[in-house]
Structure 1
Amino acid sequence: MNFSYEQTTKIVFGRGKLDSIGAIASQYGKNVLLVTESVNSPLAPLYERVKGLLQQAGLTVHHYDGVVPNPTTESVDAGTQMARSEKVDAVIGIGGGSSMDTAKAVAMAAINEGRAWDYLFFKKQPEKTLPCIAVTTTSGTGSQVTQVAVMTETATQTKSAVFNNLIYPRVAIVDPDLMVTVPRHTTASTGFDAFCHCFESYINVNGSAYTDIIALEGIRMVAKYLRRVVKDGQDLEAREGMAWADTCGGLAIANAGVTLPHGVGMTISGHCPQIMHGESLALTYPSFMRLTYPAAVEKFATVGRILNPELSGLSDEEAAKRCCEEVDQLLKDIGMWLNFESFSVDEATIRRIADRSHDLPDYKANPVIADIDEIYRELMEALARS
């Protein structure tokens, strides 16, 4: 057995933990930048609450509220400029993955030359970063515990990422109380993303015994709680369970990584910003599962039996095959059985997506390597899926 595992984020998990943000942030300076979506969003009262907690702790708070879904280079650059001009000591991201990714990118770019886009995973690497605190309000992206910041260059429809261990948040606050007002569809979309993080790290060729343990724990939480929380967003036990699943997913992918669906999903969002990340995964998963299971029978069988214990009496081969059907059923149960036509995406756009689906290296970590034509075929299966 050989593996390495690195995780430098302190996790503060539990109901009511947001109240500790003033004391936590005070450890990193007195002048902070709050990074959020618009002050006109439904989370505006939360932003004001956080400002109050920080100010009570004696901190000066500057507020950048220009985060957009599927963050763009423009939105990250604007936040970077504010961080530089205000000479902040630390950056606090509050929201879903878009807000936390933007905060991590801003914290990094603020004290390095150029812009965040200059530091993508295949370019030059940053030498330092400001401390970043991540406060998640959804359960799916895992961004609060990863060293990744995703953004899109709109001019080229290119979605890529900064990937560097320096940008792990110093602290992640995971407070399930913040998630009870998340809309049903967002809950379903982010919840499925949490499943995908766990599943893809589990089958990843770069996984380890350690990441497998974390990933399987997250999958068990999804199996137990995702349908429940989509049905009743006020179910605090289910919210807590999915917050833990989300955190497990982030901890797993930070070291094992993701596979084919995430690389393709990033390309989908780059071309079609109206499609949420979790939706892009839902579009790809039915075909991806059937392509991949013959190359990872034992692991697919294990997941299938978690999703449906009645598969325990079947052979690994049959349980692995049935795992594909179990994921189909999960998608249907949470309202995520989707097709491209519902997002006004045509065949020509799918062709462009497929042609760029190897831009990111995630496909190389899949148990089966899919070429461009295979990816196009899979995407076309989702064009008018019913």
Structure 2
Amino acid sequence: MTKMKALTYYSPTEIIFGCGKLDETAKLAKRFGNKALLVTGKGKSSVNAARRVLELLQGAGIETAHYDGAAPNPTTDLVTEGLGGGSAMDTAKAIAVEASHPGTVWDYNCHTEGPTDKTLPVIAIGTTAGTGSQVTQCAVITRTKDKDKSAVWHRNIFPKIAIVDPDLTRSMPKAVTAQTGFDAFCHNFEAYLSINTSPMVERMALEAIEAIAEYLPKALADGNDMEARSRMAWADTLGGLTNANAGVTLPHGLGMQVGGHCPQVTHGQALAAFYPAFTRYTYPAAVEKFAAVGRILNPGLQAETEETAAAKCCEEIDSFLKKIGLWIGYKELGVTMEDIREIADCGQVLGDYLNNPRVADIEEMYELLVSCYERD
């Protein structure tokens, strides 16, 4: 039996979860004053949510400005423009830093000491179910001119409040549902595998993986299945909590570089393309955990040995990617072999790869990425 390890778990975000909870926005915002900046994207779900939030805030007498320029793979340019996930929540966190500190948000990224407690308060409202950003200390940003995708990672940017209203995810298109849902799977799976994990993180991650395995296909089959949407919103939130406390591993570090070099590729797509190589590279170093996840994805593996169940977990994740329409390679995403070389060379810029049970060097990263270039 594995020896019990010491742990620290931290989450300062107040979570308001449930259908219809969006209606509490103004009451919650009043805690922080009578002025607000609403940061959204231009997608259908964002537009509908923005309209309702503006009504609520303005109806409560809160002076509100609206910036709708947030986009996937948010850039430093968008953050600065907003003053004047990737997501609207990441953009809002970054704006909260830049508006309250000298310089730009890039000056406070994860390679620095980070922002101070002068950071403006953020209320995070998700309209997808995947990033977990509503409960993390992370804001992913890209400096376009350098093709450099990094993050602010600091406890001072945890949202003060997260409103998780599954009703807001009802209008997500299938492609977005699949990509963000797989991102939630990855957050939980990688936090479960991380060398920084803990018993609490492991329990939350396994609960989330069970929910995603069952309910993501149901949400794809029927976008109005609110039980499926609610379960995915919960798994998304768990993914944020697990990520915030244990971090992610090799796929996220490289996935961030894919987004920085090839901004047309969504984060979920970057992860999906890499996972078949990642699982086969990593499972020999984490047999017990791969076996556990394999048995969630296929209960028929209960009778198999740990080694067999772990190896077959890789195949089960392949099957899951096919089921949700994400059996893809980098080539069809518009990533060139030249891009692959650059992405690999930047693969150790972020420290996520060090959390992996098996640590890859640059050439191993390159070989893994190349193996994911085309899919049969």
Under a length normalisation based on structure 2, what TM-score does the superposition of the two structures give? 0.97
Partner of 1:318: 308
Distance 2:307 2:45 in 1: 47
Partner of 1:59: 62
Shift of 1:109: 1.8
Partner of 1:147: 137
Shift of 1:44: 2.1
Distance 2:189 2:71 in 1: 27
Moved segments of 4+, more than 4 Å: none
Distance 2:311 2:137 in 1: 34
CA contact (8 A) 2:45 2:169 kept: no
Residues 1:217 and 2:207 aligned together? yes
**Structure 1 residues 301-359: Cα deviation after superposition (integer angstroms, max 9, x where no partner):** 00111111111111111000010001000000000000112122221111111111111
Shift of 1:189: 0.3
Q: Select 2:110's aligned residue among 117, 121, 125.
A: 121
CA contact (8 A) 1:180 1:239 kept: yes
Partner of 1:13: 17
- Residue aligned with 2:151, SS: strand
Shift of 1:42: 5.5
Q: Select 2:183's aligned residue among 187, 193, 200.
A: 193
One-letter code aligned to 2:363: D
Shift of 1:45: 3.0
Q: Select 1:376's aligned residue among 358, 366, 370.
A: 366
Residues 1:34 and 2:38 aligned together? yes
Distance 1:234 1:57 in 2: 30
Distance 1:137 1:68 in 2: 13
One-letter code aligned to 1:45: N
Distance 2:342 2:154 in 1: 29
One-letter code aligned to 1:217: E
Residues 1:208 and 2:198 aligned together? yes
CA contact (8 A) 1:97 1:142 kept: no
TM alignment of 1:92-107, pairs within 5 A: 97-107=86-96
- Residue aligned with 2:195, SS: coil
Partner of 1:295: 285
CA contact (8 A) 1:118 1:124 kept: no
Shift of 1:105: 1.0
Distance 1:333 1:224 in 2: 12
One-letter code aligned to 1:10: E
Shift of 1:382: 1.3
CA contact (8 A) 2:133 2:240 kept: yes
Partner of 1:109: 98
Partner of 1:173: 163
Unaligned residue ranges in structure 2 (runs of 5+): none
Distance 2:216 2:248 in 1: 21
Q: Select 1:75's aligned residue among 73, 78, 81.
A: 78
One-letter code aligned to 2:102: E
Distance 2:313 2:365 in 1: 21
Distance 2:299 2:228 in 1: 20
One-letter code aligned to 1:56: G
One-letter code aligned to 1:244: W
CA contact (8 A) 2:45 2:127 kept: no
Shift of 1:124: 3.4
CA contact (8 A) 1:226 1:238 kept: yes
Distance 2:336 2:9 in 1: 42
- Residue aligned with 1:43, SS: helix
Distance 2:60 2:239 in 1: 32
- Residue aligned with 1:255, SS: helix
Distance 2:190 2:93 in 1: 23
Partner of 1:93: none
Distance 2:334 2:121 in 1: 41
Distance 2:99 2:260 in 1: 24
- Residue aligned with 2:291, SS: helix
- Of 221-230 and 123-132, deviating more is 123-132
TM alignment of 1:289-368, pairs within 5 A: 289-368=279-358
Distance 1:320 1:31 in 2: 52
- Of 217-226 and 250-259, deviating more is 217-226
Shift of 1:174: 0.4
Residues 1:50 and 2:50 aligned together? no
Partner of 1:91: none
Q: Select 1:4's aligned residue among 4, 8, 21.
A: 8
Distance 2:147 2:26 in 1: 38
One-letter code aligned to 1:102: T
One-letter code aligned to 2:189: F
Distance 1:347 1:122 in 2: 28
One-letter code aligned to 2:90: D
Distance 1:140 1:191 in 2: 5
- Of 119-128 and 321-330, deviating more is 119-128
CA contact (8 A) 2:44 2:171 kept: no
Distance 1:130 1:283 in 2: 36
- Residue aligned with 2:146, SS: coil
Unaligned residue ranges in structure 1 (runs of 5+): 83-95
Seen in structure 2, the aligned counterparts of structure 1 residues 103 and 218 have a Cα distance that, compared at 3 Å, is same
Partner of 2:29: 25
Shift of 1:41: 5.0
Q: What is the percent sequence identity of the aligned residues? A: 52
One-letter code aligned to 2:150: S
